[in-house]
């Protein structure tokens, strides 16, 4: 089953909003046996959007759309689907009643313009949206399907999980696609390519390489008539790749560094504190993205100047002798925050985020230190000289190394990334 995505809204083309819906959907189509072949951003222009639907119906079995289901004049998805199919929209009384009930529950009357969200065409049925006012559309015509979903991610994701995915699962597609993501850290993309070369160049299963903020990801994709055969194709490739990449594999599929660390700390009943400079709070922010982090994460300090580091407890003489960006200062930061907050582990990060050198050190030089109460391990990184990249990758690297230690290993030796 061939598919395409249409992310609708001029705000996406203008860069005012980032399209997070398309990546979400793209990652969830393969397990359903749906082969995504096109993904397009389309503005709020009736001619362009109608044309996109016409082209999609010619080349794809299913079109997934996000956005354009609101009540305003520039919400054009329903009208353009109707135009592409040559059908007329009509107001559905049941949908009107539902909308009126929603607004009544909020203590207000439904604005007249919201009647637009109660429209249907003969080939469409409404998809419930308990998280918002905009119902989706499920359209079937001439062997083709259009699934129109709202733009707000929380509404779209809820509609996908509760309504769309279960309905697609019931359809017989004659093929399933399974994927396995292997996540690595500490090696360049070129070196990863060299290590896994025996498994590259195949069509089925296919092995791809993707550079991410938390390292290099490897994705195995297999197609078969049933899940058992597809996974049987994946397993030997996964085994070979993991063996070739040891000890640089840190996670699989949807795992994130903060989730892996959180699970390990919680299971071992250990606690963590961090002191970070060049990452500017990125590390603490990542850790607290995980619900329940307060059980193991006791706090963070972000001293962004020499004076602040000293005030936070770092020995001034260490900074004077070795500089703010140094192995010794990173070590002192990890020790200080661990002892100050009384935790089992302390992480310290210092480095040069750019755009200029600090103390003669190049942009991208980062030191990560981990204190476990018995010893302090320090790791040096040379990251690409882009400020946002440095912050994200340094924070991810610190968590990945902590996970490695929590699993009974040691931090990797210093290296260039």
Rg from Cα positions in the chain:
26
Q: Does the predicted model carry a pTM greater than 0.75? A: no
Closest CA to 149 of 325, 252, 253, 8: 8
For the chain, the first-to-last Cα distance in angstroms comes to 40
For residues 380 and 326, give the distance between their C-alpha atoms in angstroms, rounded to a whole number. Answer: 9
Q: What is the 3-state secondary structure (H, E, C) of 93-143?
A: HHHHHHHHHHHHHCCCCCCHHHHHHHEECCCEEEECCCCCCCCEEEEEECC
The pLDDT of residue 337 is above 50:
yes
The residue with tokens 């990184």 is: 381
Model confidence over 50-106: pLDDT tens digits?
A: 999 999 999 999 999 999 999 999 999 999 999 999 999 999 999 999 999 999 998
The pLDDT of residue 185 is above 70:
yes
Q: pLDDT grade, residue 289 (50/70/90)?
A: very high
DSSP state at residue 413: P
For residues 131 and 301, give the distance between their C-alpha atoms in angstroms, rounded to a whole number. Answer: 37
Kindly state the average pLDDT of the residues 335-346.
98
Q: Which range, 26-30, 43-47, 380-384, has the best average confidence (pLDDT)? A: 43-47
For residues 261 and 283, give the distance between their C-alpha atoms in angstroms, rounded to a whole number. Answer: 12
The pLDDT of residue 154 is above 70:
yes
- My answer on whether omega of the bond before 205 falls inside 30° of 0, hence cis, is yes
For residues 364 and 6, give the distance between their C-alpha atoms in angstroms, rounded to a whole number. Answer: 37
Q: What is the pLDDT of residue 86?
A: 97
Kindly state the average pLDDT of the residues 267-283.
97
The pLDDT of residue 415 is above 70:
no
Phi-psi region of 215 (alpha: psi -120 to 50; beta: other; left: phi over 0): left
The pLDDT of residue 182 is above 80:
yes
Q: What is the pLDDT of residue 225?
A: 86
Q: pLDDT grade, residue 173 (50/70/90)?
A: low
Q: pLDDT grade, residue 30 (50/70/90)?
A: confident
| Cα pseudo-dihedral 163, 165, 171, 175, rounded to 10 | 180
CATH 3.40.50.10490 for domain 176-252, yes or no, is no
Kindly state the average pLDDT of the residues 271-283.
97
Mean pLDDT score of the chain: 93
Taking the domain 2-169, which CATH number applies? 3.40.980.10
Q: How far is CA 325 from CA 182, 254, 322, 348, 349, in A?
A: 33, 33, 8, 11, 9
The pLDDT of residue 256 is above 50:
yes
Whether the CB-CB separation of 181 and 219 falls below 8 Å is answered with yes
For residues 145 and 280, give the distance between their C-alpha atoms in angstroms, rounded to a whole number. Answer: 47
Q: What is the pLDDT of residue 312?
A: 96
Percent of the chain with pLDDT over 90: 83
For residues 379 and 349, give the distance between their C-alpha atoms in angstroms, rounded to a whole number. Answer: 10
For residues 336 and 347, give the distance between their C-alpha atoms in angstroms, rounded to a whole number. Answer: 10
Whether the CB-CB separation of 411 and 281 falls below 8 Å is answered with no
Domain residue limits, the chain: 2-169, 176-252, 257-406
Kindly state the average pLDDT of the residues 174-183.
85
Q: How many residues does the chain have?
A: 417
Cβ neighbors of 112 (< 8 A, separation 6 or more) are none
Model confidence over 115-124: pLDDT tens digits?
A: 999 999 999 9
Q: What is the pLDDT of residue 417?
A: 46
Tokens of 243: 């063996």
Q: Which ranges of 312-415 would DSSP assign to H, the alpha helix?
A: 316-322, 327-341, 387-406
Homologous superfamily (CATH) for 257-406: CinA-like (3.90.950.20)
Kindly state the average pLDDT of the residues 298-326.
96
Count the neighbouring beta carbons within 10 Å of the beta carbon of residue 225.
12
Model confidence over 193-242: pLDDT tens digits?
A: 999 999 998 889 999 898 887 889 999 989 888 889 999 999 999 999 99
């Amino acid at each position: 089953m061939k598919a395409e995505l249409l992310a609708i809204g001029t705000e996406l083309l203008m860069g005012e909003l980032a399209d997070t819906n398309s990546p979400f959907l793209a990652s969830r189509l393969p397990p359903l046996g749906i082969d995504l072949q096109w993904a397009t951003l389309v503005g709020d222009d009736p001619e362009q959007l109608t044309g996109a639907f016409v082209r999609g119906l010619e080349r794809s079995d299913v079109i997934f759309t996000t956005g354009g289901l609101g009540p305003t004049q520039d919400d054009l998805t329903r009208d353009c689907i109707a135009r592409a199919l040559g059908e007329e929209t009509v107001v559905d009384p049941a949908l009107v009643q539902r909308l009126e009930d929603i607004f009544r529950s909020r203590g207000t009357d439904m604005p007249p313009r919201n009647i637009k969200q109660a429209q249907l065409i003969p080939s469409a049925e409404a998809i419930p949206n308990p998280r918002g006012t905009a119902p989706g559309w499920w359209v079937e015509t001439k062997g083709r399907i259009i699934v129109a979903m709202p733009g707000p991610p929380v509404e779209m994701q809820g509609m996908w999980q509760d309504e769309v995915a279960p309905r697609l699962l019931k359809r017989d597609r004659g093929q399933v696609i399974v994927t396995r993501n292997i996540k690595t850290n500490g090696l360049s993309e070129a070196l990863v390519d060299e290590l896994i070369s025996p498994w590259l160049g195949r069509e089925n299963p296919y092995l791809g390489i993707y550079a991410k903020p938390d390292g290099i990801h490897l994705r195995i994709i297999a197609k078969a008539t049933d899940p058992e055969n597809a996974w049987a194709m994946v397993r030997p490739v996964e085994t070979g790749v993991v063996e070739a990449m040891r000890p640089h594999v840190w996670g699989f599929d949807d795992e994130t560094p903060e989730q892996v660390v959180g699970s390990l700390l919680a299971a071992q009943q250990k606690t963590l504190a961090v002191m970070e400079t060049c990452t500017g709070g990125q590390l603490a922010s990542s850790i607290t993205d995980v619900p329940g982090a307060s059980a193991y994460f006791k706090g963070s300090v972000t001293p962004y100047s020499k004076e602040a580091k000293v005030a936070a407890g770092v020995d001034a003489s260490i900074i004077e002798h070795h500089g703010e960006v140094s192995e010794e200062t990173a070590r002192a930061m990890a020790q200080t925050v661990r002892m100050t907050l009384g935790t089992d582990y302390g992480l310290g990060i210092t480095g040069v985020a750019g755009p200029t050198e600090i103390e003669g050190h190049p942009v991208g030089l980062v030191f990560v230190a981990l204190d476990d109460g018995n010893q302090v391990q320090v790791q040096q990184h040379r990251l690409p000289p882009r400020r946002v990249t440095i912050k994200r990758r340094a924070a991810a690297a610190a968590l990945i190394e902590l996970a490695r230690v929590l699993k009974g290993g040691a931090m990797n030796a210093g290296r260039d990334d």
